[in-house]
Structure 1
Amino acid sequence: MPLPTSPVIRRARLGAELRQLRRREELTLEQVCERLGWASTSKLSRIELGQSRPDLADVLDLLDVYRVAAEDRDALIVIARDAATGRGWWKTLGGMGERQRAYAELEAGAATVVEYQPAVVPGLLQTAAYARLRLGVARLLDPEVDVEADVRARLVRQEVLHRAEPPHYTALLEFTACDPGGVPEGVWREQLRHLVTLARKPDVTIRVLPPGVTTAGAHPLTPFSRYSFPDPADPRTVMLEALTADVRLVSAADLAWYDAVVDRMLDAALPAAETTTLLARLAEDPALPGPASLGGHPLTVRGRPEETAVVPRPRQPRD
């Protein structure tokens, strides 16, 4: 069974609901805090932005100020309790660093996950050996990285794809992510075969974007992940992955932009069955050339070739 939606998502949902209620009552942050005797507006601001774990008593006080009806109060109290969940929830994910845990929270409670990677295999699809090499590179940048601990954490995250009721997971990969890029041949063959195995699972879809295809000008410049949740009122989320930090987007305007990008990339990508065939052939011969064709199979069958921006190979410790 899927885990409950993460506390992070519930906090964002609770904050949005409380902000809407305050505005309905035409109250400012200052007016609410004055009524409740709170020293400053920062506490309320952090609750509305989903940046702090809410105290249930504070939430009940806010619902009184906003004159919330009984039936609506009960629903918001459930959300507030989820938002206040602490260490017990995170224990289900095992020990992991802050960045991996942020993604694990979203993955564990998600109904759907879409990931885009321009240069590497996504973390949820990595073998232990491939992950160890990726994290070894991260350690060159940060000597504090515990490679083996992060590999174990990554394997814990991957369990989400093997639950009885997993999220529907889609990976959109640039063709450069299918290039070994210096990975030893044995490790790379194992990784490609692992991708083929996962691609045959009913809830996993892997699609490769052929080199040079057009996405109608909407081409992402960084890796990102998009999440939706079983409760449609929980805020859908996009995580942008950078070298040292990540950015979480939840606004409707941001999500609409990424929805359009995902749709255009899906239109341009090889179908799932063709992607699986491609990965299987590369697993048999990792040196097989790819930019133009594979054994007479043109990779640019979807979309027309177009000059695109050069995307540098990222070195993110998250994946």
Structure 2
Amino acid sequence: MPPAVPSPILRRRRLGNELRRLREAAELTGDQVIERIGWASASKLSRLENGRSRPDPEDVGLLLDLYGAGAALRDELLVITEEAGDMRAWRRSYPVMTQQQLGWTELEAGCAQIREYNPVLVPGLLQTEGYARLRIISANAAATESAGPSTGHDPETEVKARLARQSLLDRADGPEYTAVLEEAALGRRACPPDVLRDQLAHLCELAILPNVTLHLLLRDTRIGEFYLPPTAFSLYRFADAQDPETLAIEGGFIDVMSTEATTVNRYKVAFEWLCSAALSASDTLTWLFTATGRLTETATSSTAAPGPTAAPAQRRRQTGRLTER
């Protein structure tokens, strides 16, 4: 299982924010800090404060001495420094990981709450193996067509890495997860009927987890005063209240992340509007279960041998597990 602690990237952000706050409280400029400590490069402090480099405990200790940090705060920040530098141990918690999936994994680790909306896709944390494979292969094909850079991994490795991320939803201390799914994202345009059937069945299973809430937004549902979400987005709130809430906008070929409070709050309001317009969690589960049953019946009637009892028997085998659960 992935660790319950935040990723090293988040620890670096937290450390950088604290170091900047302490420097400003001490009324010191970056140049003054560099001069007093005797560092050769001014960029060293900038990288630390912006969370762009792995912090050295000795360097952090020098800064804390200069800023006159109290004993309790000093101990706390030195622990965070150790966590911020331990990328290798953190990565070992995932059996397979790729650079393409790593950015999302770093955001998801240590989350107390994740909220997601996507107008055309099932979010990555909810995808089945077959659905994920189609998404990755089609994205790679588009990159190849445009002569874009390769991810450096074959599709199967990317699929395994994406599935490895999903284990956080099954953790006892997993985050509270809420997603708004568009009806259009669950249509036959997305994937072949057999893949779609498995994806719908998987969503049924996830929807009954205590920490997972799914809402379905029907195709013709009006949102507020005809509000239209401009893009897919995800909102992350972390277990450590000192880690800033983060917005991630997934654009397919480029992703944007922000911790700017005004921007994050706007998307929080938009997500509330989406949840209010969408079906309730219980009605969503009913819709998903019915849609799964329809696809199962279609597949059964097209493959079962002729006979008056063949199709009903096959239907019971396909849907019985979900009914029991």
TM value normalised by structure 2: 0.83
Task: Write the distance in 1 (CA, Å) between the matches of 2:113 and 2:224.
Answer: 22
Equivalent residues of 1:216, 1:264 under 8 A apart: no
Deviations 1:220-244 (A, max 9, x none): 3222221112221122212111233
Q: Structure 2: any 5+ residue segments left out of the alignment?
A: 145-149, 297-325
What pairs up with 1:272-287 in 2 under 5 angstroms?
Answer: 272-285=281-294
Equivalent residues of 1:225, 1:240 under 8 A apart: yes
* Equivalent in the alignment of 2:54: 53
Task: Report runs of 4+ in structure 1 exceeding 3 Å deviation.
Answer: 142-145, 215-220
Deviation at 1:92, TM superposition (A): 0.6
Q: Structure 1: any 5+ residue segments left out of the alignment?
A: 288-319
Task: Write the distance in 2 (CA, Å) between the matches of 1:123 and 1:227.
Answer: 15
- The alpha-carbon distance between structure 1 residues 263 and 182, as it changes in their structure 2 partners (threshold 3 A), is closer
* Equivalent in the alignment of 2:264: 255
Matched, 1:230 2:239: yes
Give the secondary-structure state (helix, strand or coil) at the position aligned to 1:224.
strand
Give the secondary-structure state (helix, strand or coil) at the position aligned to 1:285.
helix
Equivalent residues of 1:93, 1:104 under 8 A apart: no
Deviations 1:257-285 (A, max 9, x none): 22222222222221111111111222223
* Equivalent in the alignment of 2:18: 17
Task: Write the distance in 2 (CA, Å) between the matches of 1:169 and 1:30.
Answer: 44
* Equivalent in the alignment of 2:312: none
Deviation at 1:117, TM superposition (A): 0.8
| Same amino acid, percent of matched pairs | 45
* Equivalent in the alignment of 2:200: 192
Moved more, 217-226 or 243-252: 217-226
Give the secondary-structure state (helix, strand or coil) at the position aligned to 2:95.
coil
Equivalent residues of 1:130, 1:188 under 8 A apart: yes
Deviation at 1:253, TM superposition (A): 2.1
* Equivalent in the alignment of 1:303: none
- The alpha-carbon distance between structure 1 residues 47 and 279, as it changes in their structure 2 partners (threshold 3 A), is same
Give the secondary-structure state (helix, strand or coil) at the position aligned to 2:109.
helix
What pairs up with 1:238-317 in 2 under 5 angstroms?
Answer: 238-285=247-294
Deviation at 1:122, TM superposition (A): 0.9
Matched, 1:113 2:122: no
* Equivalent in the alignment of 2:216: 208
Equivalent residues of 2:4, 2:173 under 8 A apart: no
**Which AA in structure 2 matches 1:16?**
N
Aligned length: 287
Higher gyration radius (CA):
2
Task: Write the distance in 2 (CA, Å) between the matches of 1:269 and 1:58.
Answer: 51
Task: Write the distance in 1 (CA, Å) between the matches of 2:226 and 2:138.
Answer: 32
**Which AA in structure 2 matches 1:19?**
R
Task: Write the distance in 2 (CA, Å) between the matches of 1:123 and 1:186.
Answer: 19
TM value normalised by structure 1: 0.84
Task: Write the distance in 2 (CA, Å) between the matches of 1:166 and 1:10.
Answer: 19
- The alpha-carbon distance between structure 1 residues 216 and 87, as it changes in their structure 2 partners (threshold 3 A), is farther
Higher helix residue share: 2
Deviation at 1:191, TM superposition (A): 0.7
* Equivalent in the alignment of 2:30: 29
Deviations 1:126-172 (A, max 9, x none): 11111111111022123545110011111111111112222111111
